[in-house]
Amino acid sequence: MESVSLHCTKCHKPFRADQAVFRCDACNEPLEAEEISKGRIREGNMLNQTIWERYGDFFPFLESGFKISLGEGFTPLAESRALAESLGMQGIYFKNESQNPTWSFKDRGTSAGIMHAKGLGYKRIGTVSTGNMATSVAAYGTASGMETFVLVSKGISQEKINPIAIYNPHLIKVDGDYGELYFESLRIGKENDIYFVNSDAPMRVEGSKTIAYEICEQLGFDMPDYVIVPTSAGGNIRGIEKGFREFRACGLIDRAPKIICAQALGCSPIYAAYKNGSEEISRAEDPHTIAHAIENPYPPSGNRVLKLLRQNGGISAAVSDEEILKAQALMAGEGIFGQPASAVPLAVVIKLKAEGILKGNEKIVCIVTGSGLKYTAALEMHELKSSECKLKELGNFIKNL
């Protein structure tokens, strides 16, 4: 643990990794773990191995003993040949994160965060979320025997609260500004010995590196041109970019793919800053999109994401709700049902192709961050069909379809 440290993503101030620190006390920007530049993939059978074992060299913080895994990661990378052909693209792949224990990629970072917290002696874990992260922390918190605190906003619907409550955490509806709650939770956590593994906590970012590692292995280390990540707080896209960067530093791949930060037009603070050539995000006013999972008006890692796009040669794009719903249906046509936020990458492919930014000779990986069953209200917005007939007439009915 000693040899590895965290540093501020803006002023580079160093921090020790053997303590729970989340943001820089000098400039309030997020912290990041040191880049791993020496490591290899461990051999072994993935049926009896966890992602933490296979990629152990890249997680020096987590060596301390306690392990928690519910089988997160090792998710499929499905190629859609028909879709690539109809869109005029060289290759389209879906990294299907809905196949995690609580049906979203959040489980990777939750697992990493809890292992880190336990290693530091914490007995309490917490998060601020109304969606997938809340479910994930509630599940992993209870499975690892930690006292678990989930802070949600007061207006949360029953449909959203039940899948969190089933794991029986301290589930607290907080009346107040939800954006402020993120920063407030870090202060309260410090006072009450609760390790808050929020959206862009350094260990959550570390957990997302495994998405990149798996893509490298799944493509036989032949890198795609672009990886598209639906982005809210910015934790996941940071982890994915870092994962490719580390594999490159270790000589496992010879180039890193370009990263595309994908947002919904109804809440696109990173895209807005990118378009203006600004180095800092501004709060998005009046956020509204069907892609609730990426509806953060003031992403805590927004500035870091802008910088990584500049360094990586990546871009930012945003699409309308209409485009998102269309993409959700198209993906379902390929057998993959993602929640609206998870359809944003495909909508971005279609948009960038129409604008000529994508030429058609590219190989693209879309990150399907969470399951379509997480937000069934979106189903009402599709024209879904079924038909009906009498049993006696079924044979003829089918012949005449």
| CA distance linking residue 348 with residue 345, whole number of Å | 5
- DSSP 8-state symbol, 90: S
**R_g (Cα) of the chain, nearest Å:** 21
132 binds ligand PLP (CB under 6 A): yes
- Joined together, the tokens standing for residue 17 give 């990794």
Query: Which residues 197-256 are close enough to bind ligand PLP by CB under 6 A?
Result: 199, 230-237
Pick one of Zn ion, ligand PLP, none as the site partner of residue 232 (Cβ within 5 to 8 A by kind): ligand PLP
11 binds Zn ion (CB under 5 A): yes
Burial 253-267, CB ≥16 within 10 A → b, else e: beebbbbbbbbbbbb
Nearer to ligand PLP, 39 or 365 (CB): 365
Site map for ligand PLP, 85-124, x if CB under 6 A? Answer: -------------------x-x------------------
Site map for ligand PLP, 283-302, x if CB under 6 A? Answer: ----------xx--------
Residue of closest CB approach to ligand PLP: 370
- The interface region with ligand PLP, picked from 3-11, 76-84, 129-137, 180-188 by CB under 6 A, is 129-137
Angle between helices 202-218 and 106-119 (to 10 degrees): 130
339 binds ligand PLP (CB under 6 A): yes
Pick one of Zn ion, ligand PLP, none as the site partner of residue 234 (Cβ within 5 to 8 A by kind): ligand PLP
Size of the site for ligand PLP (CB under 6 A): 21
Helix (H, G, I), strand (E, B) or coil at 155: coil
Considering only residues 14, 16, 26, 354, which one is a binding residue for Zn ion as defined by CB under 5 A? 26
**Percent helix, strand and coil across the chain, each to the nearest 5:** 45, 15, 40
Sequence-separated (6 or more) residues with CB below 8 Å from residue 97: 75, 104, 105, 211, 342, 367, 368, 369, 370
Residue with tokens 């009046």: 286
Q: Which helix (DSSP H) or strand (DSSP E) does residue 77 occupy?
A: strand 77-79
24 binds Zn ion (CB under 5 A): yes
Nearer to ligand PLP, 39 or 238 (CB): 238
Q: Do residues 61 and 17 lie in contact, with contact meaning Cβ atoms separated by under 8 Å?
A: yes
| Residues in contact with ligand PLP by the rule CB under 6 A | 104, 106, 131-133, 199, 230-237, 293-294, 339, 341-342, 369-370
